[in-house]
Amino acid sequence: MQRRLLLKKKKTKQFKGQARLPKFAVPIRYNIWLKPDLNACKFAGSVAIELNIVADTSFIVLNAAELSVDTASVSFTHSSNSNVLEPLKVHFVEEDEILVLGFADTLPIGIGFLTIHFQGTLNDKMKGFYTSKLCMGFSQDVFALVKMYMCVTTKNGFKTILGNENHFYKSMFCIPHQNGEKKNMAVTQFEPVRARRCFPCWDEPACKAMFKITLDVPSKLVALSNMPIIEEKIDRDLKTVSYQESPIMSTYLVAIVVGLFDYVEHLTSDGVKVRVYCQVGKLNQGRFALDVAIRTLELYREYFAVPYFLPKLDMVAIPDFAFGAMANYGLVTCCETDLLYDNQYSTAANKQRVVIVVAHELAHQWFGNLVTIEWWTHLWLNEGFATWVSYLAANHLFPEWKMWTQFLDDYTEGLRLDGLVESHPIEVEINHAREIDEIVNAISYNKGASVMRMLQSYLGAECFQRSLASYIKKFACSNAKTKDLWAALEEGSGAPVNKLMNSWTKQKGYPVISVKVKDRTLVFEQSQFLASGSHGDGQWIVPITLCCGSYDVQKNFLLQTKSETLDMKELLSEENNLASTWVKLNVDQTGFYRVKYDEDLAAKLRCVIENKYLSATDRFGVLDDSFALCMAGQQSLTSLVTLMDAYKEELEYTVLSNLINISYKVERIAADATPDLVDFIKLFFITLFKGSAMKLGWEPKTGESHLDAMLRGEVLTALAVFGDDLTLKEANRRFHAFLDDRNTPLLHPNIRKAAYVAVMREVSTSNRFGYESLLRVYRETDLSQEKTRVLSSLTSSPDPNIIVEALNFLLSSEVRALDAVVGLGVSREGRETAWTWMKDNWEHISKTWGSGNLISHFVNSIVSPFASFEKAKEIEEFFASRTNSKIARTLKQSIERVHINANWVQRVHNEEHLGETVIKLIVRDGEIKCVIL
């Protein structure tokens, strides 16, 4: 027996360090029972797994992590007989998160049942099975309801009934009534590999099975899972809730939520029950998401040509949620700020965010849940597609929002990350589960969505949709790889999709297409674009689109080599037009590449931008490409500033928003490179934006567009950041009115961020009023979106002492762990202070956020803004002894950005005509006297 155990021990080593679980056994069905204790933050459970033993083995190997398994409970029973087999060895391999069960003899081939009892901890890390806090304070909705109710039912004034308020609240909702009291709820977040923290399982997307779930929970709480409830038995303070068996799905899509909720509901036209659950008192804030969900489900039913697969869809607003949302099958969990919308207190941007999040998660019900990736190498297939189709849905529901123009924000985020040497391919081989979190980024999501859009544009919308529907039908209830989608699109279109798209998904980076005119011929050359200015060796098959002099004159072709030429006579019939015609490549920015024009073509484009001949998407593209080329040293800052001046009358939301973001980065670089010039740079940007600000004004206008409502706040925030006196003065006036009356129309939610930033720009150690007032606003509101507005403004002060205080507040118990990252974007003056603060608090930060994906935000937000080689070296030295696999890639990317900034600063410092150009532009607008004075 001893020798047999030694042999078993040796054999268990074969399972260590493997990318995937062995294929000895295939799960068919899980019967899961869980009993969470929300007070003790623990749970007990059992799982009975129906298995198919498909190969000779004396081992069963599955995933488990942070669970205490009752070894005496582990047994395996084969269906062919009643013999119960108990393992000789129950062995955890913690570093690989696997549970190895070693049996005395080879297990019989065929169906069997594995039973395991276990216990676990409801953690506070927002992963696996965890706790979130519900705050039982009064929301604006409840407070207004109380006031209305009491004023109607009493003859006394409102002030006299405040003593009865708590009694009313308790009787209405049957919940603990102490204002501000926090109660635990239990939530699951299993993607990508965290179901194993709740129950032993085959925690890989290819290991699909059916799930039958039973919960024992406090009788007053709502208990939700993927499927509808079939039975609920109450025994005093405890109830047992049983759910319908799910269709076949992956473990990462299993979901459970237990807590105190209200809900709103509606049915789709084909009878699917949709509910939005939220904290008691926030019922009305869920109605908008409900309407969007109903309309989106009906749109997707038609677009995918497959009906929604489950009988119900729930969406739940979770206070503590590390991801924006999670598309669990039939039970979507969302961060409160991304699901709830308040007509009175939320912004237009909040409203749009709800639409995008709901559309994204519901897309996964088909693309991810019904058809699931085979392994995490293909994560982008889920996320890139859902990101792309969420814009398609939002554009369909709200065409006036111009969502495909706004998509360029996501597109640009993908370009900026993929322009780094430390980027990675869309399809990146995952050799171990611990590597997955590193690819949950703008490459998988934003670049993935952008190449989908590029492919749709190349194939045509109808062909693309028809082929997608075919793909979904073929792989429904199964798993697929990237090549399976390409095969379906190739079959449906007849185009070389696989060859084309492999060049975009299997190598990192993207090209810059240089175009020049030579002897009345357009000459195109492609090379890999890198933000560092260095040269890469990538080559792509590039769908080129271009127009000449008019959108009516277009040409499309595939650039499959390093260079190609095009005779302009093919495009223009009149000989005299050739010399004066402008050329725009990448029409509507549908291609995932940048464009570099020769000086003559660039000058012509600047002229047509001033005269509003280009579409908003193309105006955006010319500006963003110019900015990227300037950063990479392929263009001067002088030429970029000259181009930016062409946008001084810009009012298109997406274009002006990007112009503002670029101006922030240019101001920071200029401050490091030419400190004597920075005040002139700021004044140039004030003159650039003041015209738009004057047209938009501070007050919302009757019937104004959704986009103007969003733009107003961004323009005013920019003017506040650059120190415009009139903006700062007016913002402070409105803020003081807001402090006196929270319902004043003088500070609409759309401009509050601007006012908060303006107030903080004038806060100092000797003038703390604005800072303390904002803290009071934070503490008094129960609206998550308002709390994040405050947090994102607190570090805008130029005073280092205030910045440290604000950063320390982020670590306090008053701020949810999820929200802390919102306040890390410190002012330019606070960079060094924030770095020192992070070093001083790194042990606490690493312990609190280090087990999830939020830790990367600390590194990226605080490291990336620096612009010196000395600082890059200091950062490397600090982290050399503080290695963490969660931040390894983020750290490399952030340090690379510091080097890029440092090189940019050196080039700008040596530019001869920058100051002269900026001053000329300011003088032209009559503003130089302000600087001189």
- Binding-site residues from annotation for Zn(2+): 360, 364, 383
Identified catalytic residue from 361, 438, 714, 896: 361
For residue 846, give both structure tokens: 């690493």
For residue 571, give both structure tokens: 């495009």
For residue 319, give both structure tokens: 């206070």
* 760, containing H or E segment: helix 749-761
Pairing mode, strands 273-278 and 312-318: parallel
CA 787 to each of CA 146, 166, 753, 818: distance values in angstroms, whole numbers, following the listed order = 23, 24, 11, 12
What gap in Å lies between CA 529 and CA 594, rounded to an integer?
8
Phi, psi of 728, deg, nearest 5: -60, -40
Angle (nearest 5°) at CA 497 between 492 and 499: 150
Contacts of 177-180 with C-beta under 8 Å, sequence gap 24+, read 177/136, 178/136, 179/136, 179/137, 179/138, 180/135, 180/136, 180/137
Q: Is 225 helix (H, G, I), strand (E, B) or coil?
A: strand
* 480, containing H or E segment: strand 478-480
Q: What is the DSSP letter of 123?
A: B
Pairing mode, strands 210-218 and 238-243: antiparallel
Q: To the nearest 10°, the Cα dihedral for 658, 661, 665, 666?
A: 60
What gap in Å lies between CA 322 and CA 194, rounded to an integer?
13
Amino acid at 364: H
Question: Could you tell me how many residues make up the chain?
Answer: 933
Question: Which of 374, 370, 373, 111 shows the shortest CA–CA distance to 247?
Answer: 370
CA 389 to each of CA 348, 393, 448: distance values in angstroms, whole numbers, following the listed order = 21, 6, 11
* 215, containing H or E segment: strand 210-218
What gap in Å lies between CA 579 and CA 568, rounded to an integer?
10
Please confirm, yes or no, whether 361 is among the known catalytic residues: yes
DSSP 395-414: HHH-GGG-HHHHHHHHHHHH
What gap in Å lies between CA 147 and CA 754, rounded to an integer?
32
What gap in Å lies between CA 726 and CA 48, rounded to an integer?
69
End-to-end alpha carbon distance in the chain: 94
* 223, containing H or E segment: strand 222-225
Amino acid at 623: L
Tokens 């609206």, residue?
Answer: 783
Please tell me the chain's helix, strand, coil percentages from 3-state DSSP, rounded to the nearest 5.
Answer: 50, 20, 30
Residues 634/594, Cβ–Cβ less than 8 Å: no
Residues 532/421, Cβ–Cβ less than 8 Å: yes
What gap in Å lies between CA 770 and CA 39, rounded to an integer?
39
Angle (nearest 5°) at CA 634 between 632 and 636: 100
Pairing mode, strands 312-318 and 84-85: unpaired
Question: Which of 733, 735, 737, 696 shows the shortest CA–CA distance to 716?
Answer: 696
Catalytic residues: 361
